[in-house]
Amino acid sequence: MIFALANQKGGVGKTTTAINLAATLAQSGERVLLIDLDPQANATTGLGVRVEAEDPAMLEVLLGETGLSEVVVPTPVEGLLLAPSSRNMAGASVMLPDLTRREFRLRDALAGLESSGEQFSYVFVDCPPSLGLLTVNALVASDQVIVPVQAEYYALEGLAQLLDTVDALRRRLNPGLRVAGLVLTMADVRTNLARQVETDIRAHFPGLTFDTVVPRNVRLAEAPSFGLPVSVFDPHCVGSDAYFDLTQEVVGRG
Ligand code: ADP
Ligand code: MG
């Protein structure tokens, strides 16, 4: 099962959600691959992985210069492997448009990985904050998309455009794509605003919003600077509990 974490807004919790869903599943015994498609490489550094400019990473995979299995590296979590990004990925937006099968580069790389005998029960693709060709590659390669939504006043803004993009891609390039759900993140659960935003989102997207709400939790923000998922950094904090619950929901919705 392949999940993209997408929202064209930055800072809504895509990377945090990608790392922590992937880590929680790996800790439960699954073999999991996290693919970092963001030039910011926050999923890469957040798992303590350093990539030098000359090391092949996801850009070189998308360009077809190397296979996905050649860039995959271990992480601090057993069973969780990472296909890292690097600053070079910033060049993707100018290089990818001229390539053949430009929307299918990630899907083709994943097919190559499978035929090389590598098996993962779950793959998570962390997207950059745009609806450009990198996110399109993620959505074309995925079975489902998870949309982190920051619980703030402008939360609804942009969601319609994202869901329209998913619909368009389903019609044109990936008929099997579906929205796993929206997940509210960074919620200040004690404030009226957070409750109001949650009510609005659930009213706008009935049935599409995960029950689990990820609260604002400083341990979630600190964990990446130690190169660890929160479930390793502080397994008993509220952030860790929330991502455990969300993982159950994601798996349960299948
Ligand atoms: P995105 O990938 O959508 O840009 P991130 O996952 O990187 O968003 O989150 C943006 C920032 O907010 C990061 O510094 C991250 O550590 C922090 N953050 C994410 N989720 C939470 C949370 N639930 N509580 C506190 N800080 C969070
Ligand atoms: Mg990110």
**pLDDT, tens digit, 9 for 90 and up, residues 100-132:** 999 999 999 999 998 888 899 999 999 999 999
Instruction: Kindly state if the Cβ of 85 falls inside 6 Å of ligand 1.
Output: no
CA–CA distance, 248 with 25 (Å, rounded to integer): 9
Question: Ligand 1, closest atom to CA 185?
Answer: 23
Ligand 2 centroid to Cα of residue 26, in Å, is 20
Residue 228: how many other CB atoms lie within 10 Å? 20
Closest CA to 239 of 216, 222, 210: 216
Residue 193: how many other CB atoms lie within 10 Å? 12
Instruction: Kindly state if the Cβ of 11 falls inside 6 Å of ligand 1.
Output: yes
What value does the mean pLDDT take over residues 86-99?
A: 93
Which residues place a Cβ less than 5 A from the ion ligand 2? 14-15, 42
Instruction: Kindly state if the Cβ of 224 falls inside 6 Å of ligand 1.
Output: yes
Q: Indicate the pLDDT class of residue 147, thresholds 50, 70 and 90.
A: very high
- CA nearest ligand 1 atom 4, residue: 11
Q: Which ligand is nearest to the CA of 212?
A: 1
Contacts of 155 (CB under 8 A, 6+ apart): 149, 184, 197, 200, 201
Is a pLDDT exceeding 80 seen at residue 138? yes
Question: Ligand 1, closest atom to CA 7?
Answer: 3
Q: What is the share, in percent, of the chain residues with pLDDT greater than 70?
A: 100
Query: What pLDDT is recorded for position 232?
Result: 97
Is a pLDDT exceeding 90 seen at residue 190? no
**pLDDT, tens digit, 9 for 90 and up, residues 197-224:** 899 999 999 899 999 999 999 999 999 9
| CB-based contact 151:31 (threshold 8 Å) | no
Q: Indicate the pLDDT class of residue 254, thresholds 50, 70 and 90.
A: confident
Query: What pLDDT is recorded for position 37?
Result: 98
Is a pLDDT exceeding 80 seen at residue 52? yes
Residues listed for the chain: 254
Q: Which of 9, 12, 16 for mutating ligand 1's site (highest number of atoms within 8 Å of CB)?
A: 16
- CA nearest ligand 1 atom 15, residue: 221
Can you give the CATH number for the domain in which 65 is found?
3.40.50.300
Q: Indicate the pLDDT class of residue 191, thresholds 50, 70 and 90.
A: confident
Ligand 2 centroid to Cα of residue 127, in Å, is 7
Query: What pLDDT is recorded for position 7?
Result: 97
CA–CA distance, 15 with 125 (Å, rounded to integer): 9
Average pLDDT, the chain: 95
Query: What pLDDT is recorded for position 116?
Result: 85
Task: Provide the number of structural domains found in the chain.
Answer: 1
Ligand 1 centroid to Cα of residue 116, in Å, is 35
* Structural domain boundaries enclosing 101: 2-253
Is a pLDDT exceeding 90 seen at residue 193? no
Query: What pLDDT is recorded for position 173?
Result: 97
